[in-house]
Every structure is written in structure tokens, then in C-alpha cells.
Amino acid sequence: MALRDSGTEKIIRSYSIPELEAMAALMRGYNLVALCAAGSGHAGGTLSIMDIAAALYLHAAEHDPANPSWPDRDRIIWSAGHKAPALYVALGASGYFPLDDVVTLRKLGSPFQGHPHWLKLPGVEISTGSLGQGLSIATGMALAAKMDGQSHRIFCLMGDGEQQEGQVWEAAMEAGHFHLDNLIAIVDCNRLQIDGWVKDVMQVEPLETRYASFGWRTLRVDGHDMRQIVEALDKARSMTGDPVVILAETTKGKGVSFMEDQAAWHGKAPNRRELDTALGELGLTKKIPVDRLLEGAAKFQREVDRELRDGMPHFSRDYWWNAGETMKVTMEPTRKGFGQSLANNGGDERIVCLGLDISASITISDFYNGKPERLKRWISMGIAEQSATSAAAGLAREGKLPVLGSYATFSAARNLNQIRVSVCYSSLNVLIAGAHGGVSVGPDGATHQALEDLFAMQGLPNMAVVVPCDAIETRKATDYLLL
């Protein structure tokens, strides 16, 4: 098992355990440099998965970087799309492209989008970013391999918070039902998600019992012990009869003291000072050409900026109304107005807010911040937009005023049918906030941009749609829609 030349079937390179450990450390370093250059991205979850990424790409999976569409290759589905940079450095370390290239992460036009997009980067099997869909894709691929009598394996990498998505369990049921022993799932059990500890947001354990009851074989490993990881992956390949899940116990932010076990480092990038400290802790000082890489990223960005500037309409000269100092507008993000309204109006006992594991970012947490008496009307639902939408309909039918929200693409698109049937056709009063709408989440990549939600929502009966342009409008719109 290893990197293989698909033409000659010869092994290109095999790695010893110490070599895999060294590669995982190096990959952590490149990952952090890329995040630093991007100024955004997910440090915590990429560091927790890195040992597994190294073992998977450099040891366990059969693949050929020179032939990404080799029909006999093992497929690796990166369901936890926000861990994309770990996937990119694993592909770079395997030889799909120079590792240095990853430094253009998240920049306009770069193939290294904030979430994986397979049409942009050879080696990426499928586009992901909306959590909970990968295991279904992997199930489809495993069924296809069975139909065609192929013997390659399908690996699917997921987060532990991701296990809250109901779709994961639909796929788990299907894979168990069809005895898909060519399917190997790996769960990065780092015990954290965005809103805090998984056990507090929405308990997913005991995963062994849960997967076993769906007909899976289960293995539990220390996800930072390279020998255990390699043995588990090898063993999983050899098991027959049923699908296998490897539950990997990990630490979010692993390897960097100030990131370890810190929910705040979920979606944060290190600045230059933090990067240097982190590389020191990883034993990588002077082992990565940081200055050269960062300059490469800056050059890429300058080129993007120039192209954007050239593409903009220009006036022949500056006027007071387009260049005057006093004409510059500073605006608060729209989502802030949402939180302000919830803070102001949340005293109304009918209001119930539902958390979807992105609470501080979209400011729905302002409903209870500093007001602990409101926590009894705060319900953490986990990463489960579809169920939460229908639950909100249930609350509304009982006279509550439910409020829920997430990124627009998850709260007003992923759950379209639940909104249509549970909420709209019953004409129930549910307030749905879609933050980061439109193309505004550019660096997060195509799978996070919400465009379709607007026309989808406007086509629904009994649905009022408001698109505010600033925080003040958002506050007033929320006031109006809420009460």
C-alpha cells in the first residue's frame, strides 16, 4: 500500500513511521504558513487531522500523483471541507504539485479554494464544504465500485461535530445495509466544534455503539500515534463483510500549544508572530522558507488586485463625491444588526433562539450574552439545519417565536424543503437569518457562496424576504419581522 505508478504498478515511495511523523510535522508547518498568508482559514481542525492525512496519502491509499484519474486509485472524500488546507498539503506532499503552491490558499483565482473544489484541483475527488454530505458521496462511489467489480477502497474523512448532521446517519444506514466493505470512514474526534465542546453543543458519542448498530465495524485509535494510525488503516483495508469506521481521538490545534483544545482557533489564522512561534514549537524553524513563501503569496495577491482594479470602471479624474475624505463610509457588518435586535427584543418570552454551531459569528448569541436568564430559551441544535428548521416549525405551532440562522447557504438552501413544507405551507412564523449571503464569503470558496437562496426563498408561499444592506437595516428588519 502506497503511492504507486499506475503505469508500471511499481511503488513510487514508501515511508517508515518516523518518516511519516516528520512529514506530518512539515505538513503542519506548510499548512500554517498558507493560513497566515491567507489571513483566514481553519487552524484547529487542520492540525488535528494532519497525522491521519499524512498516513492516508503517503502510506495507506493507493494513488498516483501523475495520474489523478487512474480508475483503480483509492478515492478519498474530504467531507470535512473546512479542513481543506490539510488535504492540499497532503496532495502537495504526495507530489500532485509543489508544496509551495499551497501558499496561494483562499486567494481569488487560486485552485486552493477555502473549501475543496474538484473541478479546480486534480487530486481532489469531489467538492465539499457543506458538512455531512461526504459519507453519502462515498457510499455512492462504493456502490459504483461494487457494480463494476472494482477493488479500490473509498475513504471518507469527517469531523465529530459533523456527526450531528442527520444525513451522515442516512448514509451510515445505507453503507451498513449494503455491506459496503470497500468503504472506510474516519472520524476526527477532536471533541470540539465551533460553539464549544461537542458534548455540550450536541452529544454524538457513543460513536462506536452508534456505528456498530448500523452494521459497521469500528476501530478506535490515538489519532496522533502514527503507528496506531497506520495499523488501523492497514487493518481496515483487510476487513471484509461490512464498512469500517476509524474513530481517531485527536486534539484540535495539535502541535501548537496556544491552539490546542481552543475553540477560538477553529476558524482563525495565525499572524506572522504566532506563525513563527508555532513553527518553533513544531521544530520547523528555518526548515520552511517562510519569507519566500509569504512573498510568493503577496505577489499573487498583487496581481489579483491589479486585475481587479483594471477591470473596474474609472473616472477620468477624482471628484469630491468619489474620493473626498468625508465621503468614505464605514459600515458595521450586517449580521451585527441581527444580534442587536435579538439583544433588544429577546425579553419577549415567546422568543426562542436555536443554535446551529455558528452562533458568535452570526451574532445570534447576542440573544443571551450577558443575560443568563434567557438561556432557558436558547436551544443548541448542533450542525443540523434540516431538523432544526422543522423543530422551529414545531415550536412556532405551539406559539413560540423561533429564530434560527447560519451562513445563508446552510440556513436558507440546505434546508429548502424543510422551509417549504414544515414552515411555509403551514404558514408558521419562523425567523430565518442567512448571514454571509451572496459572494461576500469569497475566500471560503464556491461551496460557501449563497446565491440561489434568494430566488428560492422568494418563490415560497407565505415567506417574507428582506435583504438589508447594512447593520442598521438588519436591526430594523429583524425588529419588524420578529414582533
Ligand X SMILES: Cc1ncc(C[n+]2csc(CCOP(=O)(O)OP(=O)(O)O)c2C)c(N)n1
Nearest approach, Cβ of 283 to ligand X (angstroms)? 24
Binding partner selected for residue 131 from Mg ion, ligand X, none, CB under the kind-specific 5 to 8 Å limit: ligand X
Lookup: cell for 351 = 422568543
Q: Give the number of residues in contact with ligand X, rule: CB under 6 A.
A: 27
Give Rg (Cα) of the chain.
Answer: 23
**Could you tell me the smallest distance in angstroms from the CB atom of residue 422 to ligand X?**
18
Distance CA 348, CA 1 (A): 61
How far is Cα 314 from Cα 316, in angstroms, rounded to an integer?
A: 6
Choose between 96 and 410: whose C-beta lies nearer to ligand X.
Answer: 410
| Interface region with ligand X, contact rule CB under 6 A, candidates 8-16, 55-63, 154-162, 332-340 | 154-162
Residue 338 CB: number of other CB atoms within 10 A?
26
Instruction: Among 25, 141, 410, 445, indicate the residue that binds ligand X (CB under 6 A).
Output: 410
Which of the listed partners (Mg ion, ligand X, none) does 445 bind, with a CB threshold of 5 to 8 Å by partner kind? none
Sheet holding 244-249, edge to edge: 75-78, 154-159, 183-189, 244-249, 217-222
**One residue of 383, 393, 412, 430 binding ligand X per CB under 6 A:** 383
Among 95, 134, 159, 434, binds ligand X (CB under 6 A): 159
Q: Is 80 in the site for ligand X (CB under 6 A)?
A: yes
In the stretch 260-279, what mask flags binding to ligand X with x, by CB under 6 A? ------x-------------
Cα 255 to its chain centre, rounded Å, is 20
Taking Cα atoms as reference points, which of 338, 388, 334, 383 lies closest to residue 363?
Answer: 338
Regarding 160 and contact with Mg ion (CB under 5 A), the answer is yes
Among 29, 95, 159, 176, binds Mg ion (CB under 5 A): 159
Which of the listed partners (Mg ion, ligand X, none) does 82 bind, with a CB threshold of 5 to 8 Å by partner kind?
ligand X
CA atoms within 13 A on the CB side of 280: 8
Q: How far apart are CA 406 and CA 412, in angstroms?
A: 8
Contact region with ligand X (CB under 6 A), list: 143-151, 234-242, 406-414, 458-466: 406-414
Within residues 443-472, the interface with ligand X by CB under 6 A covers: none
**Residues in Cβ contact with 294 at an 8 Å cutoff, skipping those fewer than 6 apart:** 33, 36, 37, 103, 272
Q: Is 162 a binder of Mg ion (CB under 5 A)?
A: no
Stretch that binds Mg ion, among 57-65, 153-161, 258-266, 354-362 (CB under 5 A): 153-161
Q: Which of 62, 125, 160, 366 binds ligand X (CB under 6 A)?
A: 160
SS3 content of the chain, % helix, strand, coil (to 5): 50, 10, 40
Q: How far is the CB of 250 from Mg ion (least distance, A)?
A: 8
Q: Residue 374 and residue 346: Cα distance in Å, rounded?
A: 8
Other CB atoms within 10 A of residue 316 CB? 5
161 forms part of the interface with Mg ion (CB under 5 A): yes
Contact 64, 73 (CB under 8 A): yes
Exposed/middle/buried for residue 17 (C-beta within 10 Å: 0-12, 13-18, 19+): middle
> Shortest Cβ distance from residue 90 to ligand X (Å)?
15
Map residues 102-141 to x or -, x wherever contact with ligand X holds by CB under 6 A: ---------------------------xxxx---------
Q: What phi, psi does 367 have (nearest 5°)?
A: -55, -40
Among 4, 414, 436, 475, binds ligand X (CB under 6 A): 414
* Residue 151 Cα to chain centre, angstroms: 30
Residue ranges in contact with ligand X by CB under 6 A? 44-45, 48, 80, 82, 129-132, 159-162, 188, 190, 192-194, 252, 266, 357-358, 383, 385, 406, 410, 414
Residue ranges in contact with Mg ion by CB under 5 A? 159-161, 190, 192-193
